[in-house]
Copies of this chain bind each other. A is one copy, B any other.
Amino acid sequence: MELQAIGVQHPAVRQVQHIQNNTAPNRYKLFVAEGLWAHNMLLESGAPIDTFFWCPEAIYADEARKRAEEIAERAERSFRISPRTLEKISERDKPDGLLSLAALPRWEPRDLRFQRTALVLVADGVEIPGNLGTLIRSLDACAADCLVLTNRKTRLTHPKVIRASQGTILTVPTLEFETVEEACGWLASNRFTVLLADTDEAVNYRQADYGGRTALVVGSERYGIAKDWYGRGFQRVAVPMLGSGDSLNVSVSASVLLYEARARKSRW
């Protein structure tokens, strides 16, 4: 495979660094995919690949060479880079020669249609990228309809979000609303029953009603759900805390609630 060779000063290499460090606008929601596993996921999902960087000296699996040709075929543009340049842009201990800029899919509220028993999760102010990615992985696993973000604190293109989602970020629809008001308006217009995950004045999550369309809201690791979500007549549901701690990890509590809702909707 003959590709144009470029060095560290090339604008495409700089763009990778900007995306990794979040130091430039990223309107096309580009993210950095690295390694064989991530590239298999790109090929499977059909995600648009903007730029492919190939360093044949760094590969250590025959499969990588085969994939490289498929990726170069699919990418808008492809370059060859040296091991030294790869080292500059890789975030892995042992890079394997495949690195791409790819675009996350973009969903708009009007793209989504819901069945009678739809299930969505609202993540309000979640801060830790690994938690957000793990949440997306759980949404995929329980076949939830989408993730809604309000008071967003972490970008979906963060390498740790991509990694923790195990690639499911390419298939689970995500919507972001500027304000809680707008998110509530959209949920109401789609006839969702909203349940706030909160331990105060809450019903046990096993006793809550998951009939019809359900939107579960979880809050930030430090502050819980933003005030704006309260005073709107939404029921609060709690996963009982029976030990010395006063909360669960947010991706854990969301997943316990999501699977309860899924089980009840599916009559498992």
Residue numbers of A with Cβ under 8 A of B are 130, 134, 137-143, 164, 166-168, 171-172, 204, 206-207, 239-245, 247-249, 251-252, 255-256, 259, 262-263, 268
Contact = CB atoms under 8 A, between A and B. Distances in A.
A66 to B, nearest CB: 22
Contacts of A245: 137, 140-141, 166-168
Contacts of A140: 243-245
A253 to B, nearest CB: 8
Contacts of A207: 268
Contacts of A239: 141, 259
B171 A244 contact: yes
Contact of A252 (B242, B247, B255): B255
B248 A141 contact: yes
Contact of A243 (B130, B168, B204): B168
Contacts of A240: 142, 268
A255 B244 contact: no
A140 to B, nearest CB: 3
A197 to B, nearest CB: 13
A264 to B, nearest CB: 10
A142 B248 CA distance: 10
B171 A137 contact: no
B166 A268 contact: no
Contact of A268 (B168, B204, B252): B204
Contacts of A164: 249
Nearest to A130: B130
Given A138-B252, A141-B241, A206-B263, 5 more contacts: A130-B130, A141-B242, A168-B243, A206-B268, A256-B259
A242 B138 contact: no
Contacts of A259: 239, 256
Contacts of A138: 248-249, 252
Nearest to A248: B141
29 contacts: A130-B130, A134-B249, A134-B252, A137-B245, A137-B252, A138-B248, A139-B243, A140-B243, A140-B245, A141-B239, A141-B245, A142-B240, A142-B242, A142-B243, A166-B245, A167-B244, A168-B244, A168-B245, A171-B243, A204-B268, A206-B268, A207-B268, A239-B259, A240-B268, A242-B262, A248-B255, A249-B251, A252-B255, A255-B256
